[in-house]
Structures are given as C-alpha cells and as structure tokens.
Amino acid sequence: MEKYTLIITEKPDAAQRIASALDEKGRMEKKEDNGVPYYVARRDEEIVVVPALGHLYTVAEERKGRNYYPVFNFRWVPRYAAERGAKQIRTWIQAISKLANNAEMFIDACDYDIEGSVIGYCILKYACGNKETISRRMKYSTLTQEALQKSYTELLPHLDFTLIEAGGTRHEVDWLYGVNLSRALTISARNWSGKYATLSTGRVQGPTLKFLVTREKSIRSFVPTPYWEIRAEVEIDESVFEAEYEKGKIEIKTEADAALNACKGKNGRVEKIDVKKFQQKPPVPFDLGTLQSEAYSLFGYTPRRTSFVAQRLYLEALISYPRTSSQKLPPAIDYEAILVKLSKVPKYKKLAKDLLQKSELKPREGKKKDPAHPAIYPTGKLPERDLDDSEKRILDLVVRRFMAVFGEPTKKQSIKACININEHRFYLRGRQTLKEGWQRFYGPYVRSEEILLPPIDEGQTIKVKQVVLEDKFTKPPSRYNPGSLLKKMEETEIGTKATRANIIQTLYDRKYVREERMAVTNLGFDVLEVLEEYCPNVVSIKLTSTLEQRMDKIQAKREKREKVLVDAVEILRPIVQKLREKEKEIGEKLSNAIKRARLEERIIGMCPVCGTGKLMILYSRKTGKRFIGCTNYFKGKCETSFPLPQKGSVKPIGKVCRGCGWPTVQVRIKGKRPWMLCFNPDCPLKKDRSKGVEMRNLR
C-alpha cells in the first residue's frame, strides 16, 4: 500500500462524511478491518479516515484491582483494560494502529472541544505511536461538505495542547474523586454487611445530590398556612371576565369576609384604565443548556435525550455542533446561505424569505461564549432519511430558534382596568400582541397568553355577576426536574456541558432519586447524610466550583496542570483517610440504608384484608418461589397471600387497579411490554372474562 494521510474522527458517521467530502469525485470507498470500518478518499493524495468510538482510552489505577482505596497513582490505559464489557475497543485500537503504520501524515478531526481533543490526542499518542506532536488539526462546526472541505484546506498546524491539558486534568481529577469516594462507600458497606451494592458519589454528583436533598427537606418540613383570595366575575358585552382583588393574598379570614360582604350585590365602576406598551426582544441562540431546558419544557425530553438527539442531527450534518456553550452566531456561518436553503423547505419558505428581504441580518446574541464553536444553528441541509419524531421536533426547534433571533422585537400592550366595587378595588387585566415580530418565526414554541378585553371607558358601570372567596393554602417549593436541575448546575458552575446530563442520569441509576419530579429516596438521603457527616467538603459547592474554575484556567494558560492535580490530591487525602478510619460506622449506616431501600422496593401497599399490615413481595423458604404476603403474617395476625408469576421481574410502582382499587405490581418479561397485574382474585375486571384468562393488561 502506498503512503497516505490518516484522519482520525470521533465517530463513524463523521468519518464517512469527511471521506466523501474530501474525495475528488465525492465517492469514498468503505473498507473494514476486523469489523472496524474505515474510509478511503482519493484526490491528489490518498486519504484514509478512521473513526474512534468516543473515548478509547481512560484513566485507571496503576495497581490493578477494584477493591482498595485510597488510589492516587493513575495512568491512561486502553478502555478494555479498565472496564468490563469494553472488549470491542481492543480490535478497534489494533485496526487504528495498523492503519497508522503506513501513514505519513496525521490529522486529528475529532470534535473540537475538550472531550474530542482528549480522544484524538490519546489515539495519536498511544495507538499511532507518539504522533501527537506532528499531527495537524481539522476544526469545523458542521459536517456539511463545504465546511469540511474548507477545514481541510485550512488545517491548523498542530493540536490544541492547552485544551488537551485542561481535558486530561478534568478526567484525572474527576477520576480521583470518583474512584476514591465511591470505593470508600461501596467497600465500607460491603465489609460491614458482606453484600455488594454499588454506591457512588463524585466531585459533581455530591453537590448535585445535595441540591435535591435540600429542596426535599424544605418540602417535607413545609407547613401550609391558609390564606384567602377574592375575585370578582364581571360581565362586559355579554362576556364574563375575572378581576382580581387589590389585596392579593389575605391572611385574616374576617378581613376577607368583610370585603366579600361589602361587595355583594353591588355593581362596579371603572375608575382608571392603564395602558402600557412594551417590547419583547427576540430570544438568544441556543447553546446546549438552553436547548436542553427548552426541549424539556416543550416536549418533556430529559437533558440526556436532547443531547443524544442533537448529536444525531449533527452527525447527519443537519445542525451545527451541539456541545457548545456559545450563544453567539458569527457572520462567518453565512446567515443568508442558510436561510436560502431553509426557504426550499415548504414550511419555512415564507418565513425564510421574509428574513432574506431585510436590509440587514443581525442576530440577537446572548452573553455566553465558547472558544471552539458558535451557538447551535441549522445547516439548512435536507434530511437524507425519514427522521423520527424526536429528531423532527429538535430540528424544527433549532430551525425556528435560528430564524427567531433575526426577528424584530415583539410589541405588546397590557391593560389594567381598576374597577371600584363599593370602595373595594379589583383589577381587570388584558394582554395583547400588537406586532408579532420574532414570535412569528418561533411559532408553536411561543408561550404567551393573550387576554383580549372589550373596549371599556373610565367611568363606565360594570355589571358584577358574583364575588367569590377562595380558601387557599400556601404551597411548598416544587421539586426539581431534570431540566431545572441542569439549570441549577449551570448557574452554580458545576460540571460541564458534556457531563451534566450523565450525572443526573447516574442519580437515577443509583436509585438516589426517582420519578420525573425528582423525589429523593431514603437511600439518597442516607448517602448524603453520611457524606455530610464524614466529608462535608465533598458535597460543598464551593470546593467543586473552585476546582472547576482552576481547570478552566488551565485552558487559558493561567494555571498548571501539575499544580491542580497535586492540590486535588492534597484535598482528597485527608478526606479519604477519615472515611477509612470511620469505615465501620459508615458501613453500618450505608448497609442499613441499602437494606431498607431493598425492603421498600418490595412493599406493594396496605393489605386490603386486615387493613393494618403491608403487602410485600416475599420468597418462600421452602421452594424459593415468590409470592405476595402480608407483613402481619409474621405477627400471626393475617394469612393473606397471593401467587405471583415466577418469570421476569415484579415491581410495585404505586399504581392502583382501576377495577378494584387494590395496589398492583408491574411485571416485566424480556421481549414483552411490561404490564400491570392486579392480584385480587375477586377483581370485577377479571369476572368479566372467562375463567383461566391471563391476568394482564389491566392498565
């Protein structure tokens, strides 16, 4: 084989796109080595593009084994050497090494950010044999043909070593914290109880769990206090409107009653009308965080899901690189060209054309910056396949947001009419859009409420249909959801755009939280309690964000990697030491917490027969079979029991049967859709059917 240029990408899709963009005739050739795909492109020279599979290398302990701590010595190793189930990585690295042997020039084309830079660097250094010093760098923000060709002709002469330093340090620091703290917890619990359960915490995970626990505590300790609200229903031109009482929340019942009585049976008079005109500026372009929270509130997608979908759209060259924290759209991306392409799509045609007619295209921008990429924008390219629903939605959202940032401010008018009913004042409010501006482009994603009022004049008499007194209670603060938690992490500057969504997922995986409105489980409470008692530093936001800032400084060359690492170990060493000294105490606490959590997972609900016991999933000592039994059995008070299917998993998820109101369990068998099972033999839903019919689908 002749000598060629070897280009390394982060993912297979990107490799294929780069190869076909660089091939003279746009026809790259796909090859395979041991199942590892690579692509050959021909122009004046031969180019081989080989993809990675994300990270191929990772940080690991120098001395092997998972069962000890503290661990302060580490090295970078291939992932197959450190992780279970990473076997594929071995063949992958072998294939890349082979291709590197015959290459005379190397180009790193991984995503241009912290993670991508680390991925490319490790491959060049370890798999290609120290080629990181001679490698060049491709930088691009979209995978369109034009962008890729341009980036190839304008290659950066070398890798971005400060970015690599910063990224490497981040992995090392996070690994040091994660491995030491998580092992301390897991090993303490295992040594005490003899049973294994993964417990984890980390530099970012700890403080994040603390946000949730703090909120949960204030919800649990919340005491609702009563208050009263008064509103008047008034009739104007045969339509009924609600006017709110001037005093808002009234805390004393007698005061509320007095106002109500005074207004009863009286008509009102319009005392004053205030009209205010105001503008709403266009939104700012999406960075990953704002896209994630917008997609959460519009479609209910978790940050992780949005991130996955956006990544797919990027790999198909439909949107620009999504893992960005920029809210800027530099003119270099060529707004006009994108809008021209969008105008070929029927549903955007009119909107894009209108924007193109403007004398100047100037986007509204936000404050946040990113040195490597602009904000997320559509490339204007048409999809090459049918997109699924979530892809369509995210793409449409990105397109409309892009157009909206070029729009005019929205002009609105608010009206506040003060109605006097027997010397008590009520406000009737209206809100109206005068000029749509950018909202036209954002279309279905605009959240604004229009309340149109009929024409009214000062001095006019208003018919009062009735005055209503409402009993209310103050409400506890609301729980975090994955979207608002992500926002909180951003505001407090912990984690990075690449890691936050995964940290939230880990909290679910470890069963520290459950449900979409994130409720902290007892296990979550207990783990945090242990951390707060024995290593309060680890859950403090301060420590985490200080480290975060120092790591950012490495990127700006204002801090040395070695110094940050040494300090991180110095902070960690006494913490881990203390955990070790208190291992027994901690082990006991955590073991009890795990035991309780496992028991709780098996409780189905109150026993409908005796009314005082709880129904639980139990295992027969004789046969090992599972069944449902009442906890009062152990007290000799209730013998209620029901059979359970022995296949698959059975889990209570807090739903009751709509036929009989009994608690139900969810049964899950691999390859089938999970179903709710009512185990009540006398359930009316079962009597409808002929005997012997399977008890299923009772949702």
Binding site for Zn ion (CB under 5 A): 607, 609-610, 613, 630, 632, 638, 640, 657, 659-660, 678, 680, 683
Query: DSSP alpha helices (H): ranges in 50-112?
Result: 79-82, 88-101
Q: How far is the CB of 649 from Zn ion (least distance, A)?
A: 21
Residue 625: Cβ within 10 Å count:
11
Our CB check for Zn ion shows the closer of 105 and 698 to be 698
Closest by CA position to 686, among listed 670, 669, 662: 662
Of 58 and 680, the one with the shorter C-beta distance to Zn ion is: 680
Question: Which pair of structure tokens corresponds to residue 199?
Answer: 């417990």
Catalytic site includes residue 427:
no
CB of 640 to Zn ion, least distance (A): 4
- Closer by beta carbon to Zn ion, 51 or else 663: 663
Q: Which is nearer to Zn ion, 345 or 603 (CB)?
A: 603
Our CB check for Zn ion shows the closer of 267 and 631 to be 631
The candidate with the shortest Cα–Cα distance to 173, out of 485, 486, 475, 552, is 552
Measured from the CB of residue 683, what is the shortest distance to Zn ion in angstroms? 3
CB of 665 vs Zn ion, minimal distance in Å: 12
> Phi/psi at 625 (nearest 5 deg)?
-80, 150
* Nearest approach, Cβ of residue 694 and Zn ion (Å): 14
Among residues 177, 321, 445, 534, which one is catalytic?
Answer: 321
Nearby residues of 331 by Cβ (< 8 Å), 6 or more positions away: none
**DSSP annotation of 281:** P
Q: Which amino acid is at 128?
A: C
Report how far residue 597's alpha carbon sits from residue 523's, in angstroms, rounded to the nearest whole number. Answer: 6
Provide the 3-class DSSP secondary structure of residue 494.
coil
Residue 522: CB minimum distance to Zn ion, A: 23
Given a contact cutoff of 8 angstroms between Cβ atoms, the answer to whether 519 and 216 are in contact is yes
* Cβ count near 238 (within 10 Å): 6
> What whole-number distance in Å separates Cα of residue 648 and Cα of residue 255?
61
Dihedral sign for Cα 579, 580, 581, 584, please: positive
Which of 123, 94, 71, 99 lies closest to 5 in space, CA to CA?
Answer: 99
Give the three-class secondary structure for 388. coil
CA atoms of 228 and 255, how far apart (whole Å)? 9
Q: Which is nearer to Zn ion, 40 or 609 (CB)?
A: 609
In Å, how far are 298, 399, 442, 484 from 390, measured between CA atoms?
12, 14, 18, 20
Least distance from Zn ion to the Cβ atom of residue 692, Å? 17
For residue 614, the minimal CB distance to Zn ion (Å) is 8
Please say which residue, 85 or 611, places its beta carbon nearer to Zn ion.
Answer: 611
Cα separation, 518 vs 486, in Å, equals 12
Q: Choose between 386 and 688: whose C-beta lies nearer to Zn ion.
A: 688
The DSSP symbol for 126 reads: I
Per the DSSP assignment, residues forming a β-bridge with 279 are 411
Cβ atoms of 606 and 615 within 8 Å: the answer is: yes
- Which amino acid appears at position 638 of this protein? C
In whole angstroms, what separates CA 212 from the centre of its chain? 15
Active site residues: 321
